[in-house]
């Protein structure tokens, strides 16, 4: 039997967000995202899958937010 893909919820750490989604999540401008990439060594680095669009792993962004807030998720 061929699977249609992984079961729901198993790959949340692989969800990719683009600049617009990242800006909405952090409530900052694109310029601030670029500044954070340059000046904050803990800020997750974006990557390109193809073309010019910058992307981030949602799990990396969430981990950075938890560190900034001084809180850690319950595992």
| pLDDT tens by residue, the chain, 75 residues | 455 656 666 666 689 999 999 999 999 999 999 999 999 999 999 999 888 889 999 999 999 999 999 877 655
| CATH code, residues 12-69 | 1.10.1660
State pLDDT tens for residues 18-34.
Answer: 999 999 999 999 999 99
CB 75 within 8 A of CB 62: no
**pLDDT recorded at residue 26:** 96
Closest CA to 26 of 75, 74, 62: 62
Closest CA to 51 of 19, 11, 21, 28: 19
**pLDDT recorded at residue 52:** 87
Domain parsing of the chain, residue ranges: 12-69
């Amino acid at each position: 039997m061929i699977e249609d893909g992984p079961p729901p919820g198993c790959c949340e750490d692989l969800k990719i967000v683009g600049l617009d989604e990242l800006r909405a999540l952090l409530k900052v401008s694109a310029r601030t995202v670029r500044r954070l990439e340059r000046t904050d060594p803990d800020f997750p680095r974006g990557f390109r899958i193809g073309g010019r669009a910058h992307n981030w792993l949602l799990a990396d962004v969430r981990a950075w937010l938890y560190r900034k807030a001084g809180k850690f998720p319950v595992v």
